[in-house]
Amino acid sequence: MKLKNYLLDEDQKSRWKENGWIHIEAAIDTRSLALARSEVDRLARTPAMEKGLTHYYEETHSGKKLCRTERFIEHSEQLEELITTGVIPEIASALFSHEAVLFKEKINYKMPGGAGFSAHQDATAYDFVNHHITCLVALDNMTKENGCLIFAQRPGEKALLKTNNAGCIDQKTANALDWFAVEARAGDIVYFDSYTPHKSGSNATNAPRTALYLTYNALQDADMRATYYDNRDRIIASNQESRISTIGHFKGQNISTSSS
């Protein structure tokens, strides 16, 4: 699976330094995009596995729907190649100024009626390393109507905003931020770091809005993927609330978790 040969220009580097996110249009060619979609569809039908592939479901107006799949590169050679080689990790490495290594990977499906996410910073959800960069790969067009990402100005390169008991940005603090919706077309990629405030709305359309979310850390901080997922399993299993993450940012009703 090949991506277009892509180098960051000076404007993109400047915007990254100032804002903590950049949007790169048409980064994935049509063939690779189709292959990624096919693999995501196959994974959605693949039974979950204990300490491995994990599916999460939510209650929507049309019943139980898949909302997220975590930890899947061991089950798709094509997606593993996309995620761990080539342009996507190379751009992450350029943004870190150090070689990047995969920290975690997930698919957010956001089916019709699927819920959005409250304002948060990823740094509150990820342990072990204090700086991460996530690459969103749009597999469908992402619009305001179907719940695209919405960013606010980063408070600082490694600054955290006030949080509530769920680990999300305090509502009063979130209300004071200036938010910007990032609409993207299928094949676009969006990078953002773990201190950039973001949120998303629900999918008010009749079509799914699927995206890959690929999170990296600098390899100089060690390869922490296995450690992260072991810790994540423990936190979610011990939490009295039904969550799809270590923080309570998902606004939907998580009705079941399938990991065995």
Q: Which pLDDT tens digit goes with each residue over 87-115?
A: 999 999 999 999 999 999 999 999 999 99
Q: Which of 170, 167, 169 is nearest to 239 (CA)?
A: 167
CATH number at residue 128: 2.60.120.620
Structural domain that includes position 221: 10-258
User: Residue 5 falls within a domain, yes or no?
Assistant: no
Q: Is residue 3 in a domain?
A: no
**How many structural domains is the chain composed of?**
1
pLDDT at residue 257, rounded to an integer: 58
How many CB atoms within 10 Å of residue 165? 7
Percent of the chain beyond pLDDT 90?
85
Q: Is residue 167 in some structural domain?
A: yes
Task: Decide if 2 is inside a domain.
Answer: no
> Does residue 1 lie within any of the structural domains?
no
**Beta bridge partner(s), residue 143:** none
Q: Other C-beta atoms within 10 Å of 77: how many?
A: 11
pLDDT of the residue at 92: 96
Domain for residue 128, yes or no? Answer: yes
Whole-number Å distance between alpha carbons of 230 and 110: 25
Residue 4 domain-assigned (yes or no): no
- pLDDT score at 260: 36
